[in-house]
C-alpha cells in the first residue's frame, strides 16, 4: 500500500502518524529537527512541549478541555497515553514530565512497524507523487514551506501572527445595558442591521478605562517575534498610549448608534461585540486585540458597562503564529480545497493549544486513513469536543458583515463552540430549582454527557463502516 506522508513530528503530526499506523497503513513521518531547528524547540524529540507542561483541566464532566482529553483517550490517542503515563501532580490539571512525555511519544513512533521517521525539512510543497500528505508543521512552520503554502493558497490566506480579540459568551452579556444594532443600521451581506452588541461608556467611564489600559500589566514579545504591529491590528493599549481620543476615533467610536435603554443620552464611547460563530453563542470584542496579561484583561474588560459579568471563551493576544484561513481553504475532512492531496492538522489549522493540536492531528490521521482504505468517514458530531473544534476550523466561524480583513483567529476548545442544549437542566437531583453556579455546572454536565454519548454512537458507526 502507498504510504501516507506526515510533515512535522509535533503534537499533531505524531498523533496523526499513530492513528494511521494503527490501521496498518505505512506512514512516512518527516521531522526537520535536529537538521533544522525552530525558534522555540530545544530538543530533537517528537511532540516537544515548547512552553508550559500543562494539558489544562482533566475534568471531563464540567470542562471542555477535560472532555477533549476523555474523547481522545476513547479514540486511542498516543498523546494522551504518553501524557497519562508521565503525569506529575498538578491538582485538577493534567501536567506532564515534558522529557518523559516526549520520550514516550518518540519511542512509540520509532518502534511502530508501520512508521518510518525521516529527519529532514520539507522545504517546499511536498513532491507531486506523494498522493496523501498531512501537513502538521505548527506555529513555527519553516519559512520555505510556509512560503510554498502561501503561494498555493492566496496572499492573505496564511497569517504569520495572530491578533486575537477576546471572545465573550453571549449569555453572560447584560442585555439591560447592551443593545443589538449595527452602525447606521447597516445590514451588509449576511447581516440584518442589528448584528453587533453595543456597550455604552460615559466620559468618566471611558477616561477610567483608558487609564486602566495604559497602567495594565502587559506580556512582552519573545526576542524572535519582533514587534508585529501591522495594518489595522494595533493592540488597544498601544492605541490608548497614542492619545486619549485615539480609541474613541477607532474601535470605540460612538457614531451611528442609539441606545434604546436611554435614547436621549449619547454614549461618549462604545465597545462593539460581533457574532463570532454560526451558533450565535460567542461574540468577539471588535478591534480589542491586546497584549495585556489575561488577569488584567478580565479585570479591566469587566469595567465596561454590560460586561460586568462577562465570561470569556478566549482572552486576547498577539503571537508569532502560522495559520490558514481554514474555514475558506479547508474542506470538512481538513483537505486543502485547491490541492486535495494535502491535508492540514494542528495549530496551522487555527486551533490553539497542545491538546487541541493533537486532537486535530488525530482527526486528520483518521480521515487520511479512511480515504486510503476507501472508507467513508463522517466528521464527528458537532456536539462532541472533536466535532465542535472541527466546526470552528472548517465552518463554524462566520466572516464579518463588513468587507475587511479576515476575522478567523485561533481558538481553544470551549463550551461556546458546542450547539446549545435543546432543554437545559432546570432542576437538581432532589427536584430543587437550579440557579446561578449550580445551574451552570448542571448545564456543563449535560453538555459533556451528550458529547460522550454521541461520540460512542459515532465510534459505533465508524466501526460498522470499517467492517463493511
Ligand atoms: C512559543 C510558543 C509557546 C507556546 N506555549 C504553549 C503552551 O504553553 N501551552 C499550549 O497549550 N500551547 C502552547 N503553544 C501553542 C501550540 O499549541 C503549540 O505550539 C503546539 O505544539 C502546536 O502543535 P503542532 O503539532 O501544531 O505544532 P508543533 O508541536 O510545533 O510541531 C510542528 C513540528 O513541525 C516541524 N516542522 C516545521 N516545519 C517543518 C518542515 N518544513 N519540514 C519538516 N518539519 C517541520 C517542527 O520542527 C515541529 O516539530 C505555544 C506556541 C508557541 C509558538
Please tell me if the CB atom of residue 122 comes closer than 6 angstroms to any atom of ligand 1.
yes
Return mean pLDDT, the chain.
91
DSSP state of 334: S
CA distance 158 to 286: 21
Atom of ligand 1 nearest to the CA of 12: 25
Ligand 1 atom at minimum distance from 33 CA: 47
Per-residue pLDDT at 87: 92
CA of 139 to the centre of ligand 1 (A): 5
Confidence (pLDDT) at 55: 96
Which pLDDT score is estimated for 466?
46
Q: With contact defined as beta carbons under 8 Å apart, do 106 and 98 qualify?
A: no
Distance 451 CA to ligand 1 centre (A): 28
pTM over 0.75: yes
Specify the pLDDT at position 410. 86
* Interval 110-139 mean pLDDT: 98
pLDDT band at 159 (very low <50, low <70, confident <90, very high): confident
Cβ of 41 closer than 6 Å to ligand 1, yes or no, is yes
Q: In which element (H, E) is residue 195 found?
A: none
All three cell numbers of 348: 496551522
Question: From the CB of 225, is ligand 1 less than 6 Å away?
Answer: no
pLDDT of residue 401 exceeding 70, the answer is no
Among 18-22, 43-47, 221-225, 419-423, which is the least confidently predicted range?
221-225
Residue 92 Cα to ligand 1 middle (Å): 25
pLDDT digits (tens, 9 = 90+) for 295-345: 999 999 999 999 999 999 999 988 888 899 999 899 999 999 999 999 999
Per-residue pLDDT tens over the stretch 230-252: 656 789 999 999 999 999 999 99
> Best substitution site from 5, 6, 8 to test ligand 1's pocket, by max atoms within 8 Å of Cβ?
8
Measured in whole angstroms, how far is the alpha carbon of residue 374 from the centre of its chain? 30
Cα(282)–Cα(417) distance, rounded to whole angstroms? 8
pLDDT at residue 16 above 50? yes
Asked if residue 379 has its Cβ within 6 Å of ligand 1, the reply is no
Atom 10 (ligand 1): residue with closest C-alpha? 353
By most ligand atoms within 8 Å of CB, the mutation choice from 93, 354, 360 for ligand 1 is 354
Q: Quick one: which atom of ligand 1 is closest to the CA of 46? A: 49
Percent of the residues in the chain that have a pLDDT greater than 90, as a whole number: 75
Residue 408 — very low, low, confident or very high, per pLDDT cuts 50/70/90?
confident
Say yes or no: CB of residue 65 within 6 Å of ligand 1: no
Burial class (CB in 10 A: 0-12, 13-18, 19+), 177: middle
CB of 53 sitting under 6 A from ligand 1: no
DSSP assignments along 371-410, one per residue: HHTT---PPPPTTSHHHHHHHIIIIIB---SSSSS-----
Determine which of 63-72, 106-115, 183-192 has the lowest per-residue pLDDT on average.
183-192
Lowest pLDDT segment from 52-61, 66-75, 400-409: 400-409
136 Cβ below 6 A of ligand 1: yes
Looking at the predicted structure, is the pLDDT value of residue 468 above 50?
A: no
pLDDT of residue 181: 92
Residue 96 pLDDT more than 80? yes
Q: Which atom in ligand 1 lies closest to the alpha carbon of residue 345?
A: 26
pLDDT at 229: 67
**Residue 185 falls in which region: left (phi positive, over 0), alpha (psi -120 to 50) or beta:** left
pLDDT at position 63 is 96
Amino acid at each position: 500500500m502507498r504510504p501516507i506522508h506526515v510533515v512535522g513530528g509535533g503534537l499533531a503530526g505524531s498523533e496523526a502518524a499513530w492513528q494511521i499506523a494503527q490501521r496498518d497503513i505505512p506512514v512516512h513521518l518527516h521531522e526537520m529537527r535536529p537538521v533544522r531547528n525552530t525558534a522555540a524547540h530545544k530538543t530533537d524529540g517528537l511532540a516537544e512541549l515548547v512552553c508550559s507542561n500543562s494539558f489544562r483541566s482533566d475534568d471531563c464532566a464540567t470542562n471542555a478541555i477535560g472532555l477533549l482529553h476523555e474523547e481522545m483517550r476513547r479514540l486511542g490517542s498516543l498523546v494522551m497515553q504518553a501524557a497519562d503515563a508521565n503525569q506529575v501532580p498538578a491538582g485538577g490539571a493534567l501536567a506532564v514530565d515534558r522529557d518523559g512525555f516526549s520520550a514516550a511519544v518518540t519511542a512509540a513512533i520509532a518502534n511502530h512497524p508501520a512508521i518510518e521517521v525521516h529527519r529532514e525539512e520539507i522545504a517546499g510543497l511536498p513532491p507531486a507523487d506523494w498522493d496523501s500528505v498531512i501537513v502538521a508543521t505548527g506555529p513555527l512552520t519553516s519559512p520555505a514551506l510556509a512560503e510554498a503554502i502561501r503561494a498555493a493558497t492566496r496572499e492573505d490566506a496564511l497569517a504569520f501572527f495572530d491578533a486575537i480579540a477576546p471572545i465573550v459568551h453571549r449569555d453572560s452579556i447584560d442585555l439591560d445595558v447592551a443593545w443589538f444594532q449595527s452602525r447606521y443600521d447597516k445590514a451588509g451581506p449576511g447581516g440584518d442591521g442589528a448584528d453587533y452588541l453595543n456597550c455604552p461608556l460615559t466620559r468618566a467611564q471611558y477616561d477610567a478605562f483608558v487609564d486602566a489600559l495604559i497602567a495594565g500589566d502587559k506580556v512582552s514579545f519573545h526576542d524572535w517575534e519582533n514587534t508585529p504591529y501591522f495594518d489595522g491590528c494595533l493592540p488597544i493599549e498601544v492605541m490608548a498610549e497614542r492619545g486619549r481620543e485615539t480609541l474613541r476615533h477607532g474601535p470605540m467610536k460612538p457614531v451611528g448608534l442609539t441606545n434604546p435603554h436611554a435614547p436621549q443620552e449619547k454614549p461618549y464611547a462604545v465597545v462593539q461585540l460581533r457574532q463570532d460563530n454560526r451558533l450565535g453563542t460567542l461574540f468577539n470584542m471588535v478591534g480589542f486585540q491586546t497584549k495585556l496579561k489575561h488577569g488584567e484583561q478580565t479585570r479591566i474588560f469587566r469595567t465596561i458597562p454590560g460586561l460586568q459579568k462577562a465570561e470569556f471563551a478566549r482572552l486576547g493576544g498577539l503571537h508569532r503564529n502560522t495559520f490558514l484561513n481554514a474555514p475558506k481553504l479547508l474542506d470538512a475532512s481538513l483537505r486543502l480545497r485547491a490541492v486535495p492531496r494535502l491535508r492540514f492538522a494542528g495549530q496551522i489549522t487555527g486551533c490553539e493549544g497542545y491538546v487541541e493540536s493533537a486532537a486535530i492531528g488525530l482527526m486528520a490521521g483518521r480521515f487520511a486513513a479512511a480515504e486510503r482504505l476507501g472508507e467513508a468517514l463522517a466528521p464527528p458530531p458537532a456536539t462532541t469536543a472533536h466535532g465542535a473544534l472541527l466546526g470552528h476550523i472548517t465552518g463554524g466561524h462566520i466572516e464579518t458583515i463588513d468587507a475587511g480583513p479576515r476575522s478567523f483567529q485561533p481558538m481553544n476548545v470551549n463550551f461556546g463552540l458546542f450547539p446549545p442544549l435543546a432543554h437545559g437542566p432546570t432542576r437538581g437531583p432532589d427536584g430543587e430549582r437550579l440557579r446561578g453556579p449550580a445551574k451552570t455546572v448542571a448545564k456543563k454536565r449535560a453538555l459533556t454527557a451528550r458529547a460522550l454519548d454521541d461520540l460512542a454512537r459515532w465510534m459505533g458507526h465508524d466501526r460498522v463502516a470499517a467492517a463493511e
